[in-house]
């Protein structure tokens, strides 16, 4: 295993995105030459030619100390394929279509992003956070889809068949390369022999053994990222999908438990070795965030709990080899056996805050309520940080438009005619409203109009996607793409949702609560006086600011909980009405946000809750750090009262608990009390963090959960350490 880690790190250390062109394409001239020779080729045909050129020209990279094969040598080390390498050739070549489709909408979308209203990543679609339709290939092999599509003569079916043959050729080249390599040890000889045999079978044929199942997961994950240019961030649900293969191998004597654990360890360490954790986070690619996830636990398509011996082996491998990546999302429900939930909680007490928890009892009903079949909903995964995807049925596009509710409130208070002209939108301004309902409705009209304008821009602006980057290989095994004879980028999959994740619920709720409390309930000031203080960034109004900070707050106030529910119901009702009127895309509300709690802080001016411009914002369902008297029980009760069944894109709570007196069973009890979609947990000693800032050499293995991913605390820059340590420790 150590030899494997050294081999992987030696290879990936010189292929970092820090030092190479993100769009590196060694086959660029050949691809452009093909396009010039075929000026009338459709985007589907161009993408298929891209596959075939890559399959013909790439040189397989075989690592001698592992039996797995997938490295094509055409991407940077750290990332999962998004817009990088030869797989992104067509995406970059046709990228001009985004702006040409509707220049005004394109520019407005970018301006909203620059102004901190939302993230514009894509710009109108999320090319990242995909999950390959693994289960269909595990059960049938790619050969099955080649035969089925081969019965048709339409362009999409023909291009799918050519893409599948290209991928078959890629696998065969790995087999050829393994046969030619000279091993240095008997174990290496065994690995190379296994690769040579497996690569000629899978994924073309269905997996027959546990080892082949693992090969299918790694190969499809990596190769699709390399040839399609879209981000493959999900490695699958191996403890659920490979359970039968594992048990059959043990029963037949083909494999021992020790053999299985060795395979799992070699499978798991690969992603971690792509990353250089010795550098400060600010010097790491994408600030150390890498998307690969493994989902453990949860139920299968029929509703039966999947936790078992394999679940424990994957958790053990992650712990034993001190991995940060791949991220582990642990699915649980009221039926999850306590021993597995406690096992998933164990690492938190050892300074390893790496596991996130996905709540089946909330997320599955939310998907069903959104109109999806129960058997599909039960097989959900989470891509990247938290984006819910129904494996084999959709790409959820959940992380390219985080919405800043606090910024909308900002423009409901502060005058900025120049910005509004660039946005093409006029915000109603609070002024002399006579009662709280008038205040609430004015702000919510701004919120709803901003969200629905975002929906409009995405609906119209995303139309060129099927001409920019069709992905017939990724689409081949997606449910309903074969029947519809359409690529997923053209809406061919069973479901075609787009996430609408929203951040800063606590800022919006607390601000409206402060207005109600100060101006209408207690009448400590007029609305005009409060707005004057806010517009002055609270400078010279310290007494009034103290009163605002002392007003009822989200997280420990029944009145604020009711207010948050009212906000969320208005938003979801508005989105539901929009979906009913526009059937092209189903927009799915979510409650989560990313590093923007830092990035948007300076762009979001003062708010009535006592927050000043530049103060850190709030994450997902999490209360603000400026709130007093918070405790975990009150926060969990608040979350329980929210209408989260209307948020299928996910609803995320970030909690930081004091380590003193904590045990795995107590942590597991906290997880069971959580009724949202995703719990991001830290269990820490605050004094240890302060000591780590002063003496980083003592705390090299201290890992904290940040914004959907984990990192070594001592690698964070000063601002990120300040943000983290200022969180509420409960």
pLDDT of 21 over the 70 cut:
no
Bridge partners for 332 per DSSP: 359
Number of separate domains in the chain: 1
Bridge partners for 590 per DSSP: 501
pLDDT in tens, 196-249: 999 999 999 999 999 999 999 999 999 999 999 999 999 999 999 999 999 999
Mean confidence (pLDDT) of the chain: 95
Name residues whose C-beta falls within 8 Å of residue 246's C-beta, 6 or more positions apart in sequence. 210, 255, 260, 309, 310
pLDDT of 637 over the 90 cut:
yes
Name residues whose C-beta falls within 8 Å of residue 525's C-beta, 6 or more positions apart in sequence. 518, 519, 533, 544
On whether residue 579 sits in a domain, the answer given is no
Question: Residue 303: left (phi > 0), alpha (psi -120 to 50), or beta?
Answer: left
On whether residue 44 sits in a domain, the answer given is yes
In order, the DSSP letters of 499-513 are: EEEEE-HHHHHHHHH
pLDDT confidence bin for 583, thresholds 50/70/90: confident
pLDDT confidence bin for 421, thresholds 50/70/90: very high
Asked whether 401 and 120 are in contact (CB, 8 A), the reply is yes
Q: Which domain holds residue 167?
A: 1-100+132-232
On whether residue 479 sits in a domain, the answer given is no
In order, the DSSP letters of 235-298 are: ---HHHHTHHHHHHHHHHTS--HHHHHHHHHHHHHHHHTTS-TTS-GGGSGGGG----EEEEES
On whether residue 653 sits in a domain, the answer given is no
pLDDT of 20 over the 80 cut:
no
- By the 10 Å C-beta count (0-12 exposed, 13-18 middle, 19+ buried), 529 is classed as middle
In whole angstroms, give the CA distance from residue 271 to residue 277: 12
257-272 vs 2-12: helix crossing angle, rounded to 10:
20
> Which three-class secondary structure string do you get for 146-181?
HHHHCCCCCHHHHHHHHHHHHHHHHHHHHHHHHHHC
Collapsing DSSP to helix, strand or coil, 498 comes out as strand
- CA distances to 387, 593, 635, 643 from 640, rounded to whole Å, are 21, 20, 9, 8
Asked whether 358 and 298 are in contact (CB, 8 A), the reply is yes
Asked whether 323 and 355 are in contact (CB, 8 A), the reply is no
What mean pLDDT comes out for the span 258-268?
A: 98
On whether residue 36 sits in a domain, the answer given is yes
pLDDT in tens, 486-517: 999 999 999 999 999 999 999 999 999 999 99
On whether residue 75 sits in a domain, the answer given is yes
pLDDT confidence bin for 23, thresholds 50/70/90: low
């Amino acid at each position: 295993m150590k030899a494997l880690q050294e081999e992987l790190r030696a290879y990936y250390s010189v292929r970092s995105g820090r030092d190479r062109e993100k769009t590196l394409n060694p086959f660029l001239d050949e691809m452009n030459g093909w396009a010039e020779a075929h000026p009338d080729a459709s985007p589907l045909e161009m993408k298929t030619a891209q596959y075939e050129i890559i399959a013909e020209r790439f040189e397989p990279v075989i690592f001698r100390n592992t039996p797995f094969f997938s490295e094509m040598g055409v991407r940077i080390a750290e990332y999962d394929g998004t817009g990088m390498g030869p797989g992104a050739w067509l995406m970059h070549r046709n990228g001009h279509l985004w702006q040409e489709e509707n220049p005004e909408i394109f520019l407005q979308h970018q301006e909203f992003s620059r102004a901190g209203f939302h993230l514009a990543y894509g710009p109108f679609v999320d090319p990242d956070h995909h999950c390959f339709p693994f289960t269909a290939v595990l059960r049938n092999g790619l050969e099955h889809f080649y035969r089925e599509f081969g019965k048709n003569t339409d362009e999409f079916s023909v291009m799918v068949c050519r893409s599948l043959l290209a991928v078959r050729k890629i696998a065969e080249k790995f087999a050829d390369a393994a046969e030619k390599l000279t091993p240095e040890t008997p174990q290496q000889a065994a690995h190379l022999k296994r690769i040579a045999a497996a690569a000629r079978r899978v994924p073309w044929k269905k997996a027959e053994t546990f080892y082949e199942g693992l090969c299918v997961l790694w190969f499809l994950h990596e190769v699709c990222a390399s040839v399609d240019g879209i981000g493959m961030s999900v490695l699958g649900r191996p403890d659920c999908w490979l359970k039968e293969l594992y048990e059959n191998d043990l029963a037949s004597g083909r494999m021992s438990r020790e053999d299985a654990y060795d395979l799992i360890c070699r499978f798991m360490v690969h992603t971690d070795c792509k990353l250089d954790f010795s550098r400060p986070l600010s010097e790491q690619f994408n600030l150390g965030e890498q998307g690969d996830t493994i989902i453990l636990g949860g139920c299968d398509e029929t509703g039966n709990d999947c936790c078992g011996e394999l679940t424990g082996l994957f958790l053990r491998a992650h712990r034993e080899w001190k991995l940060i990546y791949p991220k582990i999302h642990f699915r649980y429900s009221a039926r999850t056996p306590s021993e597995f939930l406690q096992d998933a909680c164990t690492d938190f007490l050892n300074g390893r805050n790496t596991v996130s928890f996905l709540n089946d009892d909330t997320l599955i009903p939310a998907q069903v309520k959104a109109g999806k079949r129960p058997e599909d909903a039960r097989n959900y995964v989470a891509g990247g940080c938290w984006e819910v995807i129904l494996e084999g049925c959709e790409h959820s596009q959940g992380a390219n438009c985080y919405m800043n509710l606090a910024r909308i409130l900002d423009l409901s208070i502060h005058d900025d005619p120049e910005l509004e002209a660039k946005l093409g939108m006029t915000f109603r301004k609070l002024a002399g409203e006579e009662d709280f309902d008038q205040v609430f409705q004015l702000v919510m009209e701004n919120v709803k109009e901003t969200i629905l304008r975002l929906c409009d821009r995405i609906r119209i602006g995303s139309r060129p996607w099927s001409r920019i980057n069709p992905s017939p290989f990724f689409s081949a095994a997606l449910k309903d793409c074969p029947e519809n004879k359409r690529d997923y980028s053209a809406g061919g999959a069973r479901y075609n949702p787009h996430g609408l994740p929203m951040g800063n619920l606590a800022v919006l709720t607390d601000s409206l609560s402060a207005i109600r409390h100060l101006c209408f309930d207690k009448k400590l000031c007029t609305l005009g006086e409060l707005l004057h203080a806010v517009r002055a960034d609270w400078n010279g109004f310290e007494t009034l600011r103290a009163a605002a900070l002392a007003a009822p707050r989200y997280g420990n106030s029944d009145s604020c909980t009711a207010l948050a529910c009212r906000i969320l119901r208005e938003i979801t009702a508005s989105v539901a009405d929009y979906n009913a009127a526009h059937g092209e895309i189903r927009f799915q509300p979510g409650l989560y946000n990313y590093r923007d709690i830092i990035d948007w802080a300076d762009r979001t001016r003062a708010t009535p809750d006592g927050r000043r411009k530049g103060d850190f914002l709030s994450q997902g369902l999490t209360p603000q750090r400026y709130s007093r008297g918070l405790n975990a029980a009150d926060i969990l009760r608040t979350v329980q009262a929210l209408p989260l069944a209307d948020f299928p894109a996910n609803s995320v709570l970030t909690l930081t608990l004091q380590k003193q007196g904590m045990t795995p069973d107590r942590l597991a009890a906290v997880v069971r009390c959580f009724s949202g979609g995703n719990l991001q947990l830290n269990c820490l000693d605050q004094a240890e963090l302060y000591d780590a800032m002063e003496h980083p050499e003592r705390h090299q293995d201290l890992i904290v959960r940040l914004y959907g991913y984990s990192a070594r605390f001592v690698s964070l820059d000063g601002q990120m350490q300040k943000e983290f340590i200022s969180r509420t420790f409960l």
